[in-house]
Structure 1
């Protein structure tokens, strides 16, 4: 039924799906009836970029505006074909029908008539900008097992709770949160770029540059504290960048609880932890 062209790039966050969900909700149709065309700079509408945690919040609002405009066009076209005033008809996603009589016309017939017997097509586009940027919130706790001889850390359990407003797609939001947590674990414990005296990166392959794998994640649990953001699409706020923030402070606190030592530089590698414990033992002697 509908072709949707977006300027926002889906970088794996699922924005194509989320925006299609919003369009389907606005147009009272099934998401399977929305065909999303990914970004093609030759034909896509302009978008400032998929960054700053803005895709769902800003492009989502633009999607809602576009669908509202398209609904008005569908109603106007249907009313004209039924020889009625636009204020005397309504649209339920499948047909335009009269609220004062039994007249109605299907969306399929409207589309065919517009295409074959009209000089205009039913299209709409919109943009969105706002000075408002409502912040999301996140809290997390981590349970670790720390070997005081080697400084090695095993993450046993990581629990996170996110407030990103109304969750548009719980499955995608959960996966994005889990991915951000794992990325944050890498930043907190492993990822350390080193250069030689000539400025060449020493650990320039994944043999030397450690990133967390599934074995390093432990048990991840993600929950959402639902709220409603009145300025966002269907009450949603951002989630993209927030989810990487909690691992570093949570792990820092957990390491302090285990060793009595605060580590204030990232990454908090096993070597740093082991040397810190050794220095503390020597000081106490």
Structure 2
């Protein structure tokens, strides 16, 4: 997503952008691009850095050609004078590759162009999500099975639908696990009883039915290209949706998690 945002701002193919994890010993301080800040906060920083780099490209070319920076444009492929005819006649028309090579030669100062930017926002616009669960409850054993789950998500402009979809599907699956399977138990001495995956149950793909996700796009003016976060909102709806579906099936409104077969049959 960061590569896509930078590429969009620069007007280049995203394959030209390489995203690297930097060692904290040599990188500047950063609060961290975790939780829901990856696309919304760090994405905006990437966009700002790309904007700065575009300005530096035009300024460097103007210096090389002894013209005003306002007379230079960069369209993602070529650095040239804004008047394309004059650019060709005066040989002021360079591919991005040729321009980059000139930048690291002594003729243009002998240095690569770099830029950096930050993003610190006074607001945090929330994403929204609606979820509906269909469950089957075995009246003999109390076992609850999620047959179908449908969700609609508003995370602003969807930057990368494939990544947003797997983020939503994964969060929904985790929420279903929270609702039906996962429990932390301790004995009388405080020792953890559910300390392995034999006793701490996680749902597998075979335990979860159909998950359907649709996006309802909007535009968030403070985010990069209108994007908002999607990190945590996708885990919020399954708990309530599954509990509500179980209540409709059994008449028992369960208010503590997980919803075990005993609770489904007998209530709390």
- Decide whether the 8 Å contact of 2:33 with 2:42 is kept in 1: no
- Decide whether the 8 Å contact of 1:168 with 1:236 is kept in 2: yes
Instruction: Give distance in 1, aligned partners of 2:73 and 2:13.
Output: 18
1:191 partner SS: coil
Q: Does residue 269 of structure 1 match 2:268?
A: no
- Cα distance change, pair 244–44 in 1 and its aligned pair in 2 (3 A): same
- Decide whether the 8 Å contact of 2:11 with 2:75 is kept in 1: yes
Show structure 1 runs of 5+ residues with no match: 1-17, 280-285
- Decide whether the 8 Å contact of 1:73 with 1:122 is kept in 2: yes
Instruction: Give distance in 2, aligned partners of 1:153 and 1:248.
Output: 13
1:167-206 equivalences in 2 (<5 Å): 167-206=158-197
1:1-285 equivalences in 2 (<5 Å): 18-100=1-83, 101-102=86-87, 103-117=92-106, 118-276=109-267
User: Aligned pairs, how many?
Assistant: 260
Q: CA deviation at 1:80?
A: 1.8
Which residue pairs with 1:9 in the alignment?
Answer: none
Show structure 2 runs of 5+ residues with no match: none
Q: Calculate the aligned-residue CA RMSD, in Å.
A: 1.3
Instruction: Give distance in 2, aligned partners of 1:167 and 1:36.
Output: 20
TM-score scaled by length of structure 1:
0.88
1:219 partner SS: strand
Instruction: Give distance in 1, aligned partners of 2:133 and 2:151.
Output: 9
1:220 partner SS: strand
- Cα distance change, pair 106–80 in 1 and its aligned pair in 2 (3 A): farther
Instruction: Give distance in 2, aligned partners of 1:30 and 1:201.
Output: 51
Post-superposition Cα deviations, 1:227-265, rounded to whole Å, max 9, x if no partner, equal 100110010000000000011110111011011111111
- Decide whether the 8 Å contact of 2:73 with 2:80 is kept in 1: yes
Q: CA deviation at 1:106?
A: 2.3
- Decide whether the 8 Å contact of 2:33 with 2:41 is kept in 1: no
Q: CA deviation at 1:164?
A: 0.2
Q: CA deviation at 1:31?
A: 1.0
1:87 partner SS: helix
